[in-house]
Structure 1
Amino acid sequence: MPKIGMEPVRRKALIDAAISAIGEHGSLDVTMSEIAGRAGVSSALAHHYFGAKDELLLATMRHLLAELGADARRALKAARTPRARVLAVVAVNFSAAQFRAQTIAAWLAFYVEAQRSPALRRLLRVYARRLHANLMSGLTGLLPRAEAGEVAETTAALIDGFYIRQALRDGAPDAASAVRLIENYLNTKLNGCPNAP
């Protein structure tokens, strides 16, 4: 009989194993058996907690979104100026907790699968709306709303683009370079703004 309180631990282990397996394969073409083995549990237990593999994949995507959201909330709470809010959002997306090889590969796999999966597409839309809103929370204090929207959209595209480029290249993720290039873009847009210190 399983110990009380083990379910959250095992569910988290299965989600971590799913990220690891997806990262290694570079796709969602992984089996429940493989994920369960990585997590140190039986396939039957994995199915008990999540049902089908699709449910585990959705839970994994929700987990990635929840971690990113929590990191963003902490960073935004600490930011004292509108410009600091924008830079905090960029920094969070390229933090050591987020911009890891396995996580990058998982995001890319989810983007690809979202073309076929309405459930994953909905989750990616949630991510896109949150990213846009977080960027706008600083940009609207610096630029007129329409211009802020364009800068937010371009910044979000740069963030996503650096994830895609990293997923397609060999070697360790280069977060510092991505942050520097995005900050260069933001500086060209914000320099000279009366509200941008």
Structure 2
Amino acid sequence: MPKVGMPDIRKPQLVKATMAVIERVGLHAASISLISREAGVSTGIINHYFGGKHGLLEETMRAILREHAQTVMTTLADYPLDAHKDRINAIVKANFSGYQARSEVAKTWIAFWSFSMHDPQLLRLQRINEKRLISHLLIELKPLLPKPLAQRVAQGIAALIDGFWLRGTLNQQGINTEEASFIISDYLEHQLAHAAQATQ
């Protein structure tokens, strides 16, 4: 965590520099020296306010999570509370558009994803993001499906989002947002239709 007193202008500057360096050389090669040079600050600034590379990585992940949460909430605000299918599709769209779709953000996400397996604090942040996604989906799915099925479909949609993210980030063309949204929407329609038939 950054220390109290860290100038607000410095944090986004350093987060941006961290993502740019990770995009260029990867997480393991993203040294404090490279990041400080990218940001135009001394290495002492990073060490003083963040306690080194790990603290800066944690702040970068938190910044990405905050931006993502804001994107989801802003997208959902365009739809009535009872438009559950539209709101699910909006949640999906928010995962593939805007800030999240930028190359440096996507590559940083993937880097953190793999790194979090060996880092308890980053894993905790990743779990928070995962639970937030499932929670958003369940709010919209529970009025449409029985609770056990709603939970299963929420997990299915989350897995599809993660899968398209992974494949798209590893692809030079990036994430095909239209294809991802169509396939996930099709999966949802099939689940809803299957549930409706089962109750007849």
Q: Give the TM-score taking structure 2 as reference length.
A: 0.88
The offset of 1:175, in angstroms, is: 1.7
* Counterparts of 1:43 and 1:170, CA distance in 2: 33
Q: Give the aligned partner of residue 126 of structure 2.
A: 124
What amino acid is the match of 1:128?
E
- Answer whether contact 1:104 1:166 (CA < 8 A) is retained: no
- Answer whether contact 1:115 1:121 (CA < 8 A) is retained: yes
Q: Which runs of 5+ in 1 are unaligned?
A: none
Q: Give the aligned partner of residue 11 of structure 1.
A: 11
* Counterparts of 1:74 and 1:47, CA distance in 2: 35
Q: Give the aligned partner of residue 106 of structure 2.
A: 104
Q: Which runs of 5+ in 2 are unaligned?
A: none
CA 1:181/1:51 → structure 2, altered by over 3 Å: closer, same or farther? Answer: same
What amino acid is the match of 1:107?
W
The offset of 1:176, in angstroms, is: 1.9
The offset of 1:23, in angstroms, is: 1.8
What amino acid is the match of 1:167?
T
What amino acid is the match of 1:92?
A
The offset of 1:98, in angstroms, is: 0.9
Q: Give the aligned partner of residue 97 of structure 2.
A: 95
* Counterparts of 1:193 and 1:151, CA distance in 2: 11
* Counterparts of 2:114 and 2:104, CA distance in 1: 15
Moved more, 114-123 or 26-35: 26-35
* Counterparts of 1:50 and 1:192, CA distance in 2: 51
* Counterparts of 2:186 and 2:27, CA distance in 1: 32
Q: Deviations over 1:18-46 (max 9, x none)?
A: 11111222334311111111112121122
* Counterparts of 1:112 and 1:29, CA distance in 2: 15
Moved more, 161-170 or 60-69: 161-170
Percent identity of equivalent pairs: 35
- Answer whether contact 2:6 2:49 (CA < 8 A) is retained: no
In the TM superposition, 1:1-197 aligns within 5 A as: 7-80=7-80, 81-191=83-193
- Answer whether contact 1:132 1:153 (CA < 8 A) is retained: yes
Q: Give the TM-score taking structure 1 as reference length.
A: 0.90
The offset of 1:193, in angstroms, is: 6.2
Structure 1 ranges of 4+ moved more than 3 A? 191-194
* Counterparts of 1:159 and 1:86, CA distance in 2: 12
**RMSD between aligned residues:** 1.8
